[in-house]
Structure 1
Amino acid sequence: MELISMFLWSSCLVLTVLLKTTIAAGSNVKYQTMKTCTLEGSSVSIVCSYSYPKGHKGTATHWFKAQSLDKVTHDIFQDHVMRDRVEYLGDGTQSCTVRINDLRLGDSGTYWFSFETDNSGKKLSSTSGFTLSVTDLVVEVRPEVTEGEEVDLYCGSCILSEAPTYVWMKDGHILASLERTNLLLIDPARMNDTGNYTCQVKGHEATPSHPVRLTVSCKQQVQVKLPPGQVKEGERLELTCDTTCPMISSLAFFEWSKDSRLLSDQNHRRQLVLDPVMAEDTGRYSCALAGQQELHSPAVEVLVQYSPKNTTAIMLGEPLGAASVTLTCSSDANPPVESYTWFKVNESTPVGSGQQYSITNIRSEDGGQYYCEAKNTVGSGRSPTLLVTLQGKADPPLPVVMVSVAAILVAFFVGIGVICGNKRRHRMLEDGTFDKAGDPGQSENTYSNMELKPTSSDYEDVTERGLNPTDSTYTALAFKSQSSEYETLEKARNTSNDYSNEPATGIYETLDDITKTG
């Protein structure tokens, strides 16, 4: 176990020494800068210095272009593309500077300097190479952006190392001059930012970039415009599909939608006309260019105001036999109903207000026809009449009333006639003018109404006692009076023989004979 540990420790120590030796060797090559960016067609000098390890003598120097030393293929001085454009400016002992003329875009890459000594037997170099970036003046930008977005325009692929001033132009006019940055930022982009952009570096005005077109499109190409003010039912309403992009032709066709449903009968019209506008036209409207419904405008809500409609009055509960009843009014309106008023047919003034109207302590006169009226700022609406019938408290039907009144009047006048007739006959009997009145028929009727049984023997007794049929005693007998005369007559009859079993017709026959002869 101890032997294994000692072996691992020795290995780590050897590896550490080797790494330090490599780094030390690599540190003999130094670059003034590690990277640079320059324009195509210009020249660049890669300033370099080196030193030999102690006890070594240089035998050869090399410049390579490669991503890494292990991928080196050939010296740039031997490359058929670069050999005529490169110059070695080193002195062979300490300086290793190289110059590249007439730079091309393909010259971009990583460059390495290495040397050989008489003792190393291999190429020595730095741990990292020099990075060269060659760029041309090309405006890099997204060709199309939407209004309101951020736009980045770059002049070239890198910032020039000589700290230049970038001059930006739009449509041939200077737009901005920016130092130490090749970025032109437009935030937010507007419609008037559309144009042709170029850039150039101050001091190299003869070689500007080629123009690049930037197009800023509308964020929303169309929008619905409403006339100002409130929209009331029955008026004329005109909606306009307005465009915010000036490049849209005035001859473009449009499509209209309501609540996300296409209005097929309103296609290809810039204006949507509703004349007259109705309550059912309330909804959310949008428009779009024909065939571009996916780019429709934001929806605009249309609220049509109308006076109360479908106004109804209902009765809550059963009023028959109840002590109170409540009537409720309902209506559809926009804006909502502001007031409710209750009326009773054939009455000139309102009987109540509010959505509910209660009738308490019901009386017969509370029965009848009621209706309500709903009002808002637009107008008013009236409900159909509602019949309120109160059982046991309502007035009787008219035919019954007429019959009852007629019966009362007939009874009244009959009673008056009977009273007057009785008084007249009574006066005639008292005056002794009953027979003189010349109304024998009246006497006969009177006798027949008496409906007395015939008692001829009794009448004879009356005659024998000297009673006069025309005096008050006779009158009392005819009207079944309870006067003293009648009582005397009864006493006279009762003192005679008992005639209760005999027929009573004889009395009237004898009485009639006496009357006629007298």
Structure 2
Amino acid sequence: MALRTTGSVLVVFLWSVAVVLGQNGWSVTYTTQRICALKGSTVELTCSYIYPRGYRVTTTFWFTKIVDVENYVNLTDDPDYKDRGTYRSDRMNGHTLKITNLRESDSTEYKFRFITDQTRGKYFGNPGVTLSVTDLQVKVTTTWWSTTLTCSTTCTLTGNSTYIWYRNSKIVQEDSSPSYSVYFKTEDSFYCAVKGINSPAVSVRAQSYFHLTYTHQRICTLKGSSVNISCSYTYPRSHTVSETKWYIKGKLDEAPQILSPGYGGRVEYLGNMQSDSTLRITDLREEDTAEYKFRFRTDQTNWEPTFPGTTLTVTGLQVKVTPATVTEGQKVKLTCITTCTLTDNPNPTYIWYKNGHVTTQSNSLFLKPVSSEDAGRYSCAVEGHEDLYSPEETLTVRYGPKSTSVSVSPSGEIVEDSSVTLTCSSDANPPVDKYTWYKKNGASLTGSEKTYNFTTISSEDSGEYYCEAENKYGRLNSSSVSMDVQC
């Protein structure tokens, strides 16, 4: 079942489990048997039908009234539904009755009838669809600690409804619950609405004897730091506070976790405990993320508010590198990120570290253009919490060959018939994947390895040699080295 509005009109469409009514090959299938809809809204009732072979359907209609035997009043001809009731059918055997601007008097049972070309070929689905039309009313329930407003109907609305509460024409709550509680002194006008249909407004004068205010509804703070979660509260003068408790709201059916002073070696209570209280938690961990609530006991009663407490989110720091893959010469941005905006420092200055040493202070770290010397391990910390730094993120810079050179082994005098090795060295990331050897004023030598070997060198090999180092980002030639082979 789904709800849809057009302007301020609520339309109820029915897609529930079908109800089949019939016998001997004759049947009517209603999509549902019961509907509860709001006064002033629009509803659609749908069905399909089957009948034996050999018949031809000539007439179909919905009805609620039977004037006489075999005298069924077509609903679209009923004066009570003039300009409000329409009937349509489709090629998929769907037969829909649409009623707009619903009235409470529309509450009744609706049935579908079809007539064939044969005298006894008539049928209607019984029972039909029972429609209940209700208006919205605000019911007020007052206790000695709160006032509860309930958006009331005479039947349970079909479909999933969202209830919107207005205080002096301003929205104060949107929820699937039809109730709204007031824990403060007020003398205001309230009304509720469901998908554009409003209840009459009521004036509420509420007197709260117990009252509690959390300083923050939400707090975001750093992992490893400390936090103060505080509230203030009032109660009747004749009461004396005997006990206060901070606790973590349990999930689903879990019991709340009481946080007594000293809990886990990290919890402390501050405040005068008669009108205000502060929960201090040190060495925060990400698993401390939860909703924290307060309750107190007096010499006459226990009091625990039902409204939300303070939601604490504990976040670590993380370095984000953009772009993730960096080539020398590009612009690179390093950002220190959190999972939420820090409550006590929404626009922090960050301390940046490279390989464990402070490099700069800034909101973000820009490297433009980035060079191979910028490669390393980066972390960040919020100014004022320099000891709470993020995990290190390695910045890898891709670049072509640099500092390409050739070395000769063994060094010193080279004699004929000895073994000599030339080695090409180059700094590159990724490493050089191709080497090319050259003899000056001559052709390139065979082979593409890092080393070039002369197993039995001769005087004809004397000359100047150099290499070319190459990877996907570039190539670079070395300076030449001279070899003088002695006979």
TM bracket (short chain): 0.3 to 0.5
- Higher RCO (CA 8 Å, separation ≥ 6 residues): 2
Greater fraction strand: 2
Greater fraction helix: 1
Which of 1 and 2 has greater Rg? 1
TM-score (norm 2): 0.39
TM-score (norm 1): 0.37
